[in-house]
Amino acid sequence: MGNTLRKTRIWEIDFLRGLLIPGMIMIHLIYDVVDLYGFIHWPYPQWYSLFKNNYGALFVALSGLSVTLGRRSIRRGIQVFLGGMCCTLVTVGMYRLGMAGRGIIIYYGVLHCLGTCMILWPLFQKLPGWALAVTGAVLVAVGWVLRTHVYIDMPILLPLGFRFYGFASSDYFPLMPNLGYFLLGAALGRRFYREKRSLWPDGPAENPAVRFFSLCGRHSLGIYLAHQPVLAAVCEMIVLMRKM
């Protein structure tokens, strides 16, 4: 069973995805202790804001690369999108219960975005690699313009990247620029993984650290859904201990 799994998966992609997980957890932990619970006062320095606001693009691009290697992107996309809806329901519940302000609500987060990108992939699947790259670059550029210069009071357009004044969310990943990152990743997949085989078949896939991060990468969706309740539970325990 294990040997079959290693033959059918490209270990370095799982490993890279797993390596990204600690950074994601750190970003959410800092959000919890600084913004949500206020345990510490830390005005975000510019370098951290840049890191936080763009780190997710690596996940999205890696997802785009991976989509070129498998099948059933629509089915997988629906599963991921439903995971995003679970996050929406939880954050709405936190707001309704008075545990956090309205800004905690996830209207269109990373899982919504990744799921949508996977569902839309068949529309772009026939494009050659260069066309994927050009389309991706254009969407990224449009997304950056929307992020800094365009505000429209139409909440229904939030998934596309059209924000309105006063909009706040603990996790917001609009399709522009993120569909662009996804397509750029797909272009890389077409370029470097045309044969759908590891680029480093004799690499350190059996190294214990590599195997650990590869395992995390294979279960990144479950880790994403599980780590946030764990962090919230730890923070709630700290709150209770402070009251004792």
Burial-class residue 47 by CB neighbours within 10 Å (0-12, 13-18, 19+): exposed
Distances (CA, A) of 111 to 79, 100, 137, 178: 9, 21, 21, 12
Confidence band, pLDDT 50/70/90 cuts, at residue 70: confident
Q: Is the pLDDT of residue 200 over 60?
A: yes
Confidence band, pLDDT 50/70/90 cuts, at residue 169: very high
SS3 state of residue 41: coil
Q: Is the pLDDT of residue 2 over 80?
A: no
Q: Are 192 and 199 in contact (CB under 8 A)?
A: yes
Q: What is the mean pLDDT of residues 104-115?
A: 95
pLDDT of residue 228: 86
The pLDDT tens digits of the residues spanning 5-23 come to 344 689 999 999 999 999 9
pLDDT of residue 140: 97
- Taking each helix axis from N to C end, the angle separating 175-192 and 46-67, rounded to the nearest 10 degrees, works out to 50
Q: How far apart are CA 80 and CA 189, in angstroms?
A: 20
Q: How far apart are CA 177 and CA 144, in angstroms?
A: 7
Which residue type occupies 86? Answer: C
Percent of the chain whose pLDDT exceeds 90: 72
